[in-house]
Structure 1
């Protein structure tokens, strides 16, 4: 069975991080990336036995890169500090990867917003998967619940041009033709702050991420290579 590392980028999320780590069971390695924290996030992480990696450059892309580079397990699971993983979350990921074919280099999942009607999650994530998937030609990674092969990450040499890209989308663009993202029905529960923040900024970053990648992978070349494979 593959070994599993869980990576949680964190910037001043001590209370939510404590909740996430309390519900996280069965991983071979847990890494919390202290991304310029000024609160007790690092202390909380160590109290739960997590390894703390410090990334002083503020930005989710840089924190994710630091965590992925530091991990040693076969599979890198990426979640956020504001999610609640289910009781069998890690085991389901382990089982899915144990039976995955060689073309599957990543898996992506789902989330339900806590204390919100389910249609909020369906609308939010449904729009993400449909719009970004259309730009990619395959399933996009969802940063709050996804996993990748460490061997693929090491070979892909993903470069983040700036802190303004959505790191999950940007990593998704790094897949070559013939490489696949699997859809794993293993949902987490997520804090609704994604619906409460600057939604406009999220859209702008999304378009920025697509534009950055379409400069080197224009859609008229990228999409036929994937839709016809």
Structure 2
């Protein structure tokens, strides 16, 4: 059995989409799914309760607290942590579990498919660059799914509770200890508007800053994109220059907004949850 923990804050519109995919084709008892509605003001818990899953509610709107509650309720390894707004099928969950049986592999994530249909040009341009960044291609973050075995789980439990939890999980493991599993696919839904893209990036910038300031991340290095990376991409493929300009603009605006945003401000992209 594979345990799957799903933290969910106001995800009533999309939680069924994820659970339908996980349970379609799953054998009885194959997956232990724990959904953790946290600080919800919508019907997330009620929607999840319609499925053969365990629902563990928490009052605080905190992903870190939801992950802890889900961990306390889950009983098996391998264990997958899956964001409620992505889509992962039963076959993908199985492939991730199999990869964790390989010697030396402590953490895994699926290949990502970005659903960019209907997004404006600027959003598509941003992700045209983002998906080409080396750290994005080889890291476990930005996929909405991270899987670990018992040893990898012990590593994760030592991490600080930061916004960029998937980036922290990725950097907690050496490249040889983590794997992006090509036979597992996850559908990620990017923002549908320019404003929501900026909100998502502000949150990412704040999360990266938190992580880099933590003691646990000092030995892991940085996953930030530098000017040299962008210039190298432009030299390799001049056709990317307009998209690189969009990417750079988003980065500059997001960093400025991250410095002025209140620490309690919830910068979440709502447009992808439709």
- 2:121 is aligned with 1:124: no
Query: For residue 212 of structure 2, what is the aligned residue in structure 1?
Result: 210
CA contact (8 A) 1:145 1:187 kept: no
Per the normalisation by structure 1, the TM-score is 0.75
Aligned: 1:165 with 2:171: no
Look up the match of 1:88: 91
For each residue in 1:128-185, what CA deviation from the matched residue of structure 2 results, as whole angstroms up to 9, or x when unmatched? x51797xxxxx44445022011343246532434xx531122233444x697111212
Q: Report the CA distance shift for 1:85/1:152 in structure 2 as closer, same or farther (over 3 A).
A: closer
1:114 aligns with 2:115: yes
TM-score, normalising length from structure 2?
0.64
Cα 1:78–1:125 shift into 2, 3 Å: farther
- 1:36 CA displacement: 0.9
Secondary structure (helix, strand or coil) at the match of 1:171 reads: helix
Shift in Å at residue 68 of structure 1? 2.5
Residue in structure 2 matched with residue 45 of structure 1 by the alignment: 48
Could you tell me how far 1:10 is from its partner in structure 2?
0.4
Q: 1:56-95 to 2 correspondence within 5 Å?
A: 56-86=59-89, 88-95=91-98
Of 55-64 and 186-195, more deviation after overlay is shown by 186-195
1:182 has 2:153 as partner: no
| Bigger RCO of structures 1 and 2 (CA < 8 A, at least 6 apart) | 1
State the structure with more CA Rg.
Answer: 2
Q: Residues of 1 paired with 2:18 and 2:208: CA distance?
A: 26
Query: Any residues of structure 2 matched to 1:144-163 within 5 Å, and which?
Result: 144-154=144-154, 157-161=157-161
Matched, 1:34 2:40: no
Change (3 A) 1:159 1:55: farther
Structure 1: 5+ residue stretches without partners = 134-138, 220-229
Which secondary structure does the structure 1 equivalent of 2:76 belong to? coil
Query: 1 CA distance for matches of 2:21 and 2:58?
Result: 24
Q: Please, which moves more after superposition, 64-73 or 29-38?
A: 64-73
* CA spacing shift, 1:131–1:35, aligned 2, 3 Å: same
Structure 1 CA distance for aligned equivalents of residues 217 and 186 of structure 2: 34
The question of whether the paired residues in 2 share the 8 Å contact of 1:110 and 1:145 is answered with no
5+ residue gaps, structure 2: 222-274
